[in-house]
Amino acid sequence: MIIYRVNMGDLSVKKEEVPQEWQYLGGRAFTSAVVAKEVDPACNPMGAKNKLVFAPGLLSGTNAPNSGRMSVGAKSPLTGTIKESNVGGSASQKLGKMNIKGIIIEGQPAEDKYYNLHVDKDGIKIQEETELLGKGNYEVIDTLSKKHGDKIGVMTIGQAGEFRMAAANISVKDYHGNIRSAGRGGLGAVMASKKIKYITVDDTGAPGVPIANPEPFKAAALRLGKALKEHPVTGQGLPTYGTNVLVNILNEAGGLPTKNFRMGRFEGAHKISGEAMYEKIIDRKGKPTHNCHAGCVISCSQVYHDESGQFVTAGFEYETIWGFGAVCLIDDLDIIAQADRICDDIGIDTIETAVAVSTAMEGGVIEFGDGKGMLNLLNEIKKGTPLGRIIGNGAGFTGKAYGVTRVAVVKNQAIPAYDPRAVKGVGVTYATTTMGADHTAGYAVATNILKVGGFVSPLEKEGNIDLSRNLQIATAALDSTGLCLFVAFSILDNPDAFQAIVDLVNAQCNLNMTGDDLNEMGKNVLRTERGYNIAAGFTAKDDQLPEFFSEDFPPHNKTWDFTTEELQEVWNF
């Protein structure tokens, strides 16, 4: 395996061997190790000292099921913390097949010019880019697919990135030509600060990932695939309704944050639910089942059409639908789909942006429930108007612009689609994760609500610190393998699924790890990330939710009652 180091200061590319200490790190373990070692924790995230790191997971590019996720890392301009943003699409597998451990992009061009990078088996070329500047992601991907062929991998920023907005994401083309997003933490702005509009990845002639012990690898891959197919969540719920199966579940549980986190049930929930969406998709000849990367056996994605049967968006996730739906009090799925499409096209995180819109509603910019007003706000982002720049810099920023105190952020990153008062385990994750509020960093919803891996009451404190800690550790390990987070459902209920993952890594790398060793890798990732944040000036005071979560939250009328001291127990490992 090799590392490419791209210096945008002098427009040079170096090919490096992987140092021994990083030999068995992939994905998040690799990006966080590089950022922690090489990026000054005190630096300005938009300056020359920050680095942007792309790393396929350890298993990416192999035939292991659901192993095509990539990690993108940097110091985040949104949170000021270390950041790993995780994404599907085809680039991760292509990089893995070319035996690229990671691409480290550093420095900043002196001139105000944009560039593109082209990665293939011969190396990385840096070329000046003018044609696609100012263009949205759909046009970028279409143009590059015409130029390089449909199979080309693309990682790109839209207008939000070019405007260096703190909610800008990095969009990754999937093999259908649709858009997947490394959504959180503003890494699109970091890519813009390096003056890179897009990266194309062509794995023609790539050698493929070397597997030390192919037969045990194949056997373990089959076991993991079987476990995924057999689990009710990954075998039935997600394939049928996508992640949006959660609207009805969270609404029923009273944990669907509605009207800027005022209550846990939304009157219009049934109109935006996974079940309602499924019917619309079938009616309009969309695709109810679709995947974000080759080799995925879950296929939680879908293709959503409008009333006239035209494509609107793909990968229409629960968190997006909740965000532009319940939290903004909008119950029109077609408007929400338009919002998702605009966000994909301009390259901006839907969670951050939806909560920013709900914060703007709180500040009186538009009314709650005003779907057209919401689409107008998103178009302001696209145009880079002052109002667009306010919304595009996220929920915390929008709150400050309008003097709003009800702003749902932790470490300035928007709180996602599960209210921490009614799903306390994920609340612990929001408060303590190294990433700023992020449900994927320790998805306690699984055990609190879906009763996967046992049951810990979502409404009481008891057990939720331990639950979040264990999930944060396991997630950090999973994010390093390139496996999709959804394999966690199987792991939690089926010990052999976890063993299959350990066996996969062992077979690929010729190692003899135990499950405990893999867990230890997760712990090391968290320790590295937390050490970085502490060096950047973060303290226990930052590991807490905003003040307004001390309000009663209907229908259960629970409050957020973990003290800052209690939350620090997450770090006892």
* Site membership for a copy of itself, residue 390 (CB under 8 A): yes
- Sorted by sequence, the CB contacts under 8 Å of residue 373 that are 6+ apart come out as 366, 367
The one-letter amino acid code at 183 reads: G
Please compute Rg for the chain using Cα positions: 22
Stretch that binds a copy of itself, among 131-139, 161-169, 298-306, 509-517 (CB under 8 A): 161-169
- Sorted by sequence, the CB contacts under 8 Å of residue 383 that are 6+ apart come out as none
State how far the Cα of 221 lies from the Cα of 178, in Å rounded to an integer: 27
The nearer residue to a copy of itself, 46 or 220, going by C-beta atoms, is 46
* Site membership for a copy of itself, residue 163 (CB under 8 A): yes
Binding mask 184-213 for a copy of itself (x = CB under 8 A): -----x--xx--------------------
* Site membership for a copy of itself, residue 408 (CB under 8 A): no
The nearer residue to a copy of itself, 94 or 411, going by C-beta atoms, is 411
3-state class (DSSP) for residue 314:
strand
Residue with tokens 């659901």: 66
The nearer residue to a copy of itself, 127 or 539, going by C-beta atoms, is 539
- 453-460 CB contacts, 8 Å cutoff, 24+ apart: 453/491, 453/492, 453/493, 454/492, 456/425, 457/424, 458/253, 458/255, 458/422, 458/423, 458/424, 458/425, 459/422, 459/424, 459/556, 459/558, 460/424
Q: Which of 119, 348, 546, 558 binds a copy of itself (CB under 8 A)?
A: 546
SS (H, E, C) 70-100: EEEEEECCCCCCEEEEEECCCHHHHHHHCCE
Question: Within positions 81 to 120, which residues make up the interface with a copy of itself, using CB under 8 A?
Answer: none
The nearer residue to a copy of itself, 54 or 163, going by C-beta atoms, is 163
Stretch that binds a copy of itself, among 177-185, 209-217, 382-390, 508-516 (CB under 8 A): 382-390
* Site membership for a copy of itself, residue 568 (CB under 8 A): no
The nearer residue to a copy of itself, 463 or 531, going by C-beta atoms, is 531
Stretch that binds a copy of itself, among 130-138, 234-242, 402-410, 446-454 (CB under 8 A): 402-410
Site size toward a copy of itself, by CB under 8 A: 39
- In the complex, least distance from residue 358 CB atom to a copy of itself, rounded to whole angstroms: 17
Q: Which of 164, 180, 305, 469 binds a copy of itself (CB under 8 A)?
A: 164
Q: Which of 375, 356, 427, 441 is nearest to 166 (CA)?
A: 356
* Site membership for a copy of itself, residue 536 (CB under 8 A): yes
Evaluate the CA torsion angle 333, 334, 335, 340 in order and state its sign.
positive
* Site membership for a copy of itself, residue 573 (CB under 8 A): no
- Sorted by sequence, the CB contacts under 8 Å of residue 78 that are 6+ apart come out as 166, 167, 184, 185, 186, 352, 394, 412, 413, 436
* Site membership for a copy of itself, residue 564 (CB under 8 A): yes
Question: Within positions 20 to 49, which residues make up the interface with a copy of itself, using CB under 8 A?
Answer: 41-44, 46-47, 49
- In the complex, least distance from residue 432 CB atom to a copy of itself, rounded to whole angstroms: 14
* Sheet strands (E) in 459-499: none
Q: Which of 111, 127, 310, 403 binds a copy of itself (CB under 8 A)?
A: 403
The nearer residue to a copy of itself, 548 or 573, going by C-beta atoms, is 548
Q: Which of 215, 285, 541, 572 binds a copy of itself (CB under 8 A)?
A: 541
> Helix 464-481 to helix 495-509 angle, to the nearest 10 degrees?
30
Q: Which of 218, 209, 210, 217 is nearest to 507 (CA)?
A: 217
- In the complex, least distance from residue 82 CB atom to a copy of itself, rounded to whole angstroms: 14
The torsion region of residue 513 among left (phi > 0), alpha (psi -120 to 50) and beta comes to: beta
**For residues 429 and 470, is the Cβ–Cβ distance under 8 A?**
no
Give me the residues that bind a copy of itself (CB under 8 A), please: 41-44, 46-47, 49, 77, 163-166, 189, 192-193, 385-387, 389-390, 393, 397, 400-403, 405, 535-542, 544, 546-547, 564
